């Protein structure tokens, strides 16, 4: 049975444009994988705490010496990483908020990029430790940034996914969603999504 991980980060929940595009993509994926399961990680409904000095202390304390709080912090990181490891494919809702990913999504990446678990440093430089898998990024924006040299979001998402070993990144852009032609932009994104060859 295949597993699709849906990572949600829109503050608008299921009404968000990224969530609606995700729903469309997930329907297609389920049509191809009738016995597949979808695991939802909703970063807005269940926020992930910021990574801080306490997180580092928890991860570097031997299991038998951890306080209950440290144990809970490590378990959260372990759970998020396990969800990513066990997924055959990932749908990543990625709205643009203030030119970047939502802070909720940044907090998720801070938890799943873990030295010795999802990446490691070698003599030749960093090496990603996750098995490669398709990640479908749904990049929703109010304005236009694609191909004009002002997109600091999608290149960063590709960089950090590559850092942990994931190179199969497909991006569906829904741009100009706060502009007058937003319906046409959305329709374009939907048709790109429908044409996507899903693994």
Binding residues for FMN: 10, 96-99, 140-143
Structure tokens at 194: 């429908």
Contact call for residues 139 and 150 (beta carbons, < 8 A) = no
Q: What letter would DSSP give residue 132?
A: P
Interface region with ligand FMN, contact rule CB under 6 A, candidates 53-61, 63-71, 80-88, 138-146? 138-146
Q: List Cβ neighbours of 24 (8 Å cut-off, separation of 6 or more).
A: 190, 193, 194
Residue 95 binds ligand FMN, judged by CB under 6 A: yes
Touching ligand FMN, residues 140-159 (CB under 6 A)? 140-143
Mark the segment that binds ligand FMN (CB under 6 A) among 30-38, 76-84, 94-102, 112-120: 94-102
- Interaction residues for ligand FMN, span 173-192 (CB under 6 A): 177-178
Give least dist CB 178 to ligand FMN, A. 5
The string over 4-42, giving b where at least 16 C-beta atoms fall within 10 Å of a residue's C-beta and e elsewhere, is: bbbbbbbeeeeebbbbbbbeebbeebeeebeebebeebb
**Total Cβ atoms within 10 A of residue 157:** 20
For residues 117 and 78, what is the distance between their CA atoms, to the nearest angstrom? Answer: 9
Told to check if 18 binds ligand FMN by CB under 6 A, we report yes
104 is a site residue for ligand FMN (CB under 6 A): no
- Tell me which of 97, 146, 171, 192 binds ligand FMN, using CB under 6 A: 97
Minimum distance from CB of 108 to ligand FMN (Å)? 15
């Amino acid at each position: 049975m295949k597993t699709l991980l849906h990572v949600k980060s829109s503050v608008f929940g299921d009404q968000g444009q990224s969530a609606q595009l995700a729903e469309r993509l997930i329907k297609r994926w389920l049509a191809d994988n009738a016995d597949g399961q979808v695991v939802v990680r909703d970063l807005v409904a269940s926020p992930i705490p910021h990574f801080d000095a306490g997180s580092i202390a928890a991860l570097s304390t031997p299991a038998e010496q951890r306080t209950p709080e440290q144990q809970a912090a490590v378990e959260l990181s372990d759970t998020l990483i396990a969800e990513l490891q066990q997924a055959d494919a990932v749908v990543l809702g990625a709205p643009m908020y203030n030119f970047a990913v939502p802070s909720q999504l940044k907090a998720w990446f801070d938890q799943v990029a873990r030295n010795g678990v999802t990446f490691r440093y070698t003599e030749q430089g960093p090496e990603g430790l996750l098995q490669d898998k398709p990640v479908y990024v749904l990049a929703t924006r109010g304005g236009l940034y694609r191909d004009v040299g002002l997109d600091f979001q999608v290149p960063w998402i590709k960089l950090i996914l590559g850092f942990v070993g994931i190179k199969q990144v497909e991006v569906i852009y829904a741009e100009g969603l706060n502009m007058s032609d937003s319906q046409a932009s959305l329709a374009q994104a939907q048709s790109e999504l429908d044409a996507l060859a899903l693994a």
